[in-house]
């Protein structure tokens, strides 16, 4: 431990003497997405000393990387207080505020609503902040409380007009916190659980309208983790809002920038709700908690079928039947089914039948699955999707694929030969018996 401490002290001295661009590169390389500093060494003194150099580039680097909450607040407040009319200063201060807002440290006070000053600033950004400001704030992976309040339409977001709130919900769809879960052997990530609960509340808070559907779809389609309704009543109420929606396009909506033709938004919402919110909590007479999955392949209810597509171990016939019956709704659901995506033959079939409109989403979910399972191959498995991406296939993979195709053809040929042998035997035996 002593040598580690000594090495860090030496590195601090190097940074204090290094050029601003070198400091910037070093600090940004040190930052981790989950907000924890590398190692166990406190860098508060070092970061304060670096800011004391009063170099804009170094201050910008510290704003993006420090885990010292007081220093981060100080940098942000100084950027806000600087009322210089100089164009360069205005642009720099905006960038400095955005660096603070997007700092992923778990101790970032700007993302956790810890003070009244922060609350006022969050309220300002929510109500009138620029696109860059509210995106930096909402998409910060450490902004769990803000994300939950936004999706639930509570706190500073409760008084926003529908249109403004829906734009912020669209920004939330790109937050890594939707799918990041830090649960391990030491305990569950309660923040991740809160986010999943907030996703269910979003479906209950969003206006039942075309704009509301678009915002809800943007979030649901990117949810790789399943959400859990608190009760059967909550799940039923959320689904009922959308299954009972009687949407008729008006002239105003046809000219609206939010309008997207040739899409059944109602079916998309119901399918995604079925796939993402496919279970609810229960409590028995003894107070023991449990859960019930809402998934049934042969159901007449689209949400129940999509629940099954997202969680059950499907076979090839069930996959083919799902594509025939529900098409895009099937693909929207099966993307989060690890058992299906773990089968190469199933993935090839999916990639060959997937619409181009959903190809990007399929690749997105494959990448998310790879984060959970490092051995998972997120690259396209079908020739058609590989060609679309211009993926170069190494010779070994090409030979393996060629052998696999030959084996598949051989199996078909052997099945044909087997059938001829069986029928030939039956005919010969029949003729012999007839002659007797």
Reduce the DSSP state of residue 264 to 3 states and report it. Answer: coil
CB distance 289 to 282 below 8 Å = yes
| Helix (H), strand (E) at residue 151 | helix 144-152
Task: Identify the pLDDT of residue 349.
Answer: 95
C-alpha dist (Å) from residue 405 to 178, 410, 412: 39, 9, 11
Which region, left, alpha or beta, applies to residue 259 given φ > 0 means left and ψ of -120 to 50 means alpha? beta
How wide is the angle at C-alpha 166 spanned by C-alphas 160 and 172, nearest 5°?
110
Q: Within 10 A of 101 (CB to CB), how many other CB atoms are there?
A: 27
Residue 424: per-residue pLDDT: 63
Structure tokens, 19: 């050029």
Which backbone phi and psi does 429 adopt, to 5 degrees? -65, -40
* pLDDT confidence of residue 390: 60
Per-position DSSP letters for 166-193, written without gaps between them: HHHHHHHTT-GGGT----BTTB--HHHH
Tens digit of pLDDT at every position of the chain (436 positions): 457 778 878 888 989 999 999 999 989 887 754 444 444 466 888 999 999 999 999 999 999 999 888 899 999 999 988 888 889 999 999 999 999 999 988 777 877 766 655 788 899 999 999 999 999 999 998 889 999 999 999 999 999 999 999 999 999 999 999 998 877 777 888 888 899 999 999 999 999 999 999 999 999 999 998 898 898 999 999 999 999 998 776 555 555 554 455 578 999 999 999 999 988 888 777 778 888 888 999 999 999 999 999 999 999 999 999 999 999 999 999 999 999 999 999 999 999 999 989 999 999 999 999 998 999 999 999 988 887 776 444 444 444 444 444 444 445 445 556 555 665 666 665 666 656 5
What tokens does 303 get?
């949400």
Question: What is the rounded CA–CA span in Å between residue 436 and residue 121?
Answer: 100
Q: How far apart are CA 188 and CA 205, in angstroms?
A: 27
Question: What angle, 0 to 180 degrees and rounded to 10, lies between the N-to-C axes of helices 20-30 and 2-17?
Answer: 140
- Asked if 238 contacts 232 with a C-beta cutoff of 8 angstroms, the reply is no
Using CA atoms, how far residue 415 sits from 196, 410, 422, in Å, is 49, 8, 11
Question: Looking at residue 110, what DSSP letter applies?
Answer: T
Asked if 172 contacts 219 with a C-beta cutoff of 8 angstroms, the reply is yes
CA gap 263, 170 in Å, rounded: 18
Contact 157, 149 (CB under 8 A): yes
The token pair that represents 232 in the structure block: 């059967």
Segment (H or E) for 5: helix 2-17
């Amino acid at each position: 431990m002593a040598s580690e401490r000594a090495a860090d002290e030496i590195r601090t001295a190097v940074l204090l003497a290094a050029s601003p661009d070198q400091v910037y590169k070093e600090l940004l390389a040190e930052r981790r997405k989950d907000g924890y500093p590398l190692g166990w060494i406190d860098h508060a003194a070092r970061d304060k000393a670096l800011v004391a150099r009063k170099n804009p580039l170094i201050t910008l680097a510290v704003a993006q990387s420090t885990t010292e909450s007081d220093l981060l607040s100080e940098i942000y407040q100084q950027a806000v207080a600087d009322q210089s009319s100089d164009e360069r200063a205005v642009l720099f201060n905006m960038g400095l505020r955005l660096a603070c807002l997007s700092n992923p440290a778990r101790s970032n006070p700007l993302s956790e609503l810890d003070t009244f000053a922060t609350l006022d600033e969050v309220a300002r950004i929510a109500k009138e902040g620029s696109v860059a400001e509210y995106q930096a704030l909402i998409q910060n992976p450490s902004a769990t409380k803000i994300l939950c309040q936004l999706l639930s339409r509570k706190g500073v977001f409760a008084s926003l007009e529908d249109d403004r709130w829906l734009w912020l919900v669209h920004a939330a769809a790109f937050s890594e916190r939707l799918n990041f879960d830090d649960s391990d052997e030491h305990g569950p990530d309660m923040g991740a659980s809160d986010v999943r609960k907030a996703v269910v509340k979003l479906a209950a808070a969003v206006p039942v309208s075309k704009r509301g559907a678009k915002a809800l779809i943007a979030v649901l389609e990117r949810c790789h983790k399943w959400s859990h309704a608190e009760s059967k009543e909550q799940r039923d109420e959320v689904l009922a809002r959308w299954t009972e929606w009687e949407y008729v396009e008006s002239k105003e909506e046809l000219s609206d920038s939010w309008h997207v033709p040739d899409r059944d938004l109602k079916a998309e919402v119901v399918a995604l709700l079925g796939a993402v919110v496919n279970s609810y909590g229960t409590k028995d007479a003894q107070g023991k908690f449990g859960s019930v999955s809402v998934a049934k392949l042969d159901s007449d209810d689209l949400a129940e079928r999509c629940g099954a597509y997202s969680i059950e171990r499907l076979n090839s016939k069930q996959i083919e039947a799902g594509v025939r019956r529900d098409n895009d709704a099937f693909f929207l659901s099966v993307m989060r089914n690890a058992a299906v995506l773990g089968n190469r033959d199933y993935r090839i079939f999916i990639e060959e039948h997937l619409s181009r409109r959903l190809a990007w989403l399929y690749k997105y979910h494959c990448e998310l699955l790879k984060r959970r399972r490092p051995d998972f191959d997120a690259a396209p498995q079908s020739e058609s999707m590989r060609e679309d991406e211009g993926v170069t296939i190494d010779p070994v993979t090409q030979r393996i694929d060629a052998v696999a195709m030959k084996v598949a053809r051989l199996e078909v040929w052997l099945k044909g030969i087997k059938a001829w042998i069986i029928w030939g035997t039956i005919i010969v035996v029949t003729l012999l018996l007839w002659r007797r």
